[in-house]
């Protein structure tokens, strides 16, 4: 994306972004803030409030798809004492 287009892209506060782009209510402001803190969502802070763009949200979602574990890796890890020796 060109710098000019990125500069003109609308910004949304986290509540507005959650409501607009994740209308099911499963993604809320606090979850977006968590993604910012973990470095997964690019945001701008203005007067102590975070603002995000649609392209930043899309990039976050695409990053999660790339980093998703295969279904076989979703099993719960076994505690060290529960391993069977044979």
C-alpha to C-alpha distance for 16 and 84, rounded to whole angstroms? 51
Residue 15, domain extent = 11-66
Under a CB-based contact definition with an 8 Å cutoff, are residues 12 and 52 in contact?
yes
Alpha carbon 11 to its chain centroid, in Å, reads 16
Task: Give, as one character, the DSSP assignment of residue 39.
Answer: T
Total domain count for the chain?
1
Q: Is 70 helix (H, G, I), strand (E, B) or coil?
A: coil
pLDDT band of residue 83 (cuts 50, 70, 90) is low
Q: What is the pLDDT of residues 10-66, one digit of tens each?
A: 999 999 999 999 999 999 999 999 999 999 999 999 999 999 999 999 999 988 666
Q: Which has the higher per-residue pLDDT, 4 or 86? A: 4
Does the pTM of the predicted model rise above 0.75?
no
Q: CB neighbours (10 Å) of residue 56?
A: 23
């Amino acid at each position: 994306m060109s710098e000019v287009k990125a500069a003109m892209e609308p910004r949304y506060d986290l509540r507005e972004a959650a409501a607009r782009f994740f209308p099911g209510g499963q993604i809320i402001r606090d979850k977006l803030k968590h993604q910012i803190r973990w470095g997964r969502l690019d945001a701008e802070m203005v007067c102590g409030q975070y603002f995000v763009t649609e392209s930043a949200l899309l990039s976050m979602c695409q990053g999660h798809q790339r980093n998703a574990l295969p279904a076989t890796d979703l099993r719960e890890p076994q505690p060290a004492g529960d391993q069977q020796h044979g």
